[in-house]
Amino acid sequence: MTTKILIIGACGQIGTELTTKLRGIYGNENVIASDIRKLNNDIVNNGIFEVINALDYNQIEHLIEQYQITDVYLMAALLSATAEKNPAFAWDLNMNSLFHVLNLAKAKKIKKIFWPSSIAVFGPTTPRENTPQFTIMEPTTVYGISKQTGERWCEYYHHQYGVDVRSIRYPGLISWTTEPGGGTTDYAVDIYHKALEKGEFECFLSKDTKLPMMYMDDAIRATIEIMQAKPDAIKIRSSYNLAGISFTPDEIANEIKKHIPDFTISYKPDFRQKIADSWPASIDDSSARKDWGWNHQFEIDSMTQVMLENLKK
């Protein structure tokens, strides 16, 4: 049976690159991109695109039937810093879009679901260094609360109804193709833009705030690898810890200075500092490495080189 993919939230930070990659693997005609609005970009112009509201069950069901969809990647969500400004809508979008897709799988309308979780599920009481797969989770943000709840529902639907849902807890993601999207870790994207444009950057986190990060290519590869893994390899149906590199704003600034010697950074922590302080500094992802062979490829030096080279173009 042909794999037919629907990506909900295809124009977002992860969705953009995921759509391009999946189209390369499965063919343009087998990957349907969708989002709440139609932008003039490659995702819309280079393949099948549908306008869809992730909160509309009937719309999603209609697309699944129309295109005979087997796999859904639900990438629509309100991120950490943005969600804090609109908690009720964030909860509604992050939770009910997931229920719609889980219920469609329960009804056997689709075979497989990918749903992203996040390091935001952890909180200030979680062990910060080498955060274990199974540990105390007391998130203090709306985004984190919705992701933690989502993990519980994913596991429940798998055990109760046999739904094949797969998930990873993304760390902060760094990419040159999309603008920063309202996340607490997005300083690590913006810093490259500002380094090239202005030669200086004002950081909204303190210089020694260490957070788990990952270059987008690694995150996209992990997403596709977990979906391509055999069902019995996926031992965890809540969400897998995923790690790449952990660094501080000071460390990334020093790496940039190797390429742009005159670059300067200043620090003015705002409300996002409190969010960052509640998250892990590093992640233990040994379960993902053991179960389905995950391995990151990018380190801070290789990532910085690729970011600056591509942003210059």
The reported pLDDT for the residue numbered 13 is 84
Q: What's the pTM?
A: 0.94
* 2: exposed, middle or buried (Cβ count in 10 Å: 0-12, 13-18, 19+): exposed
Q: Is 267 a catalytic residue?
A: no
Of the chain, the percentage scoring pLDDT greater than 90 comes to 90
Arithmetic mean of pLDDT over the chain: 95
Of the chain, the percentage scoring pLDDT greater than 70 comes to 100
Distances (CA, A) of 25 to 5, 28, 167: 11, 9, 20
> Stretch 128-139: mean pLDDT, rounded?
97
Phi (first) and psi of residue 230, to 5 degrees: -65, 145
pLDDT at 278 > cutoff 80: yes
Q: Kind of pairing, strands 71-74 and 112-114?
A: parallel
> Stretch 42-57: mean pLDDT, rounded?
95
Number of DSSP helices (H) and strands (E) in the chain, helices first: 12, 14
Predicted confidence (pLDDT) per residue in 137-180, tens digit:
999 999 999 999 999 999 999 999 999 999 999 999 999 987 77
**Catalytic residue from among 143, 157, 215, 240:** 143
Whole-number Å distance between alpha carbons of 151 and 25: 28
Phi (first) and psi of residue 5, to 5 degrees: -110, 135
> Stretch 51-75: mean pLDDT, rounded?
98
pLDDT at 184 > cutoff 90: no
> Stretch 6-33: mean pLDDT, rounded?
96
> Stretch 298-302: mean pLDDT, rounded?
97
pLDDT at 79 > cutoff 90: no
> Stretch 181-209: mean pLDDT, rounded?
93
Confidence of residue 49 (pLDDT cuts 50, 70, 90): very high
pLDDT at 82 > cutoff 90: no
The reported pLDDT for the residue numbered 1 is 83
If one compares 303 and 179, the residue with the highest pLDDT of the two is: 303
The reported pLDDT for the residue numbered 117 is 97
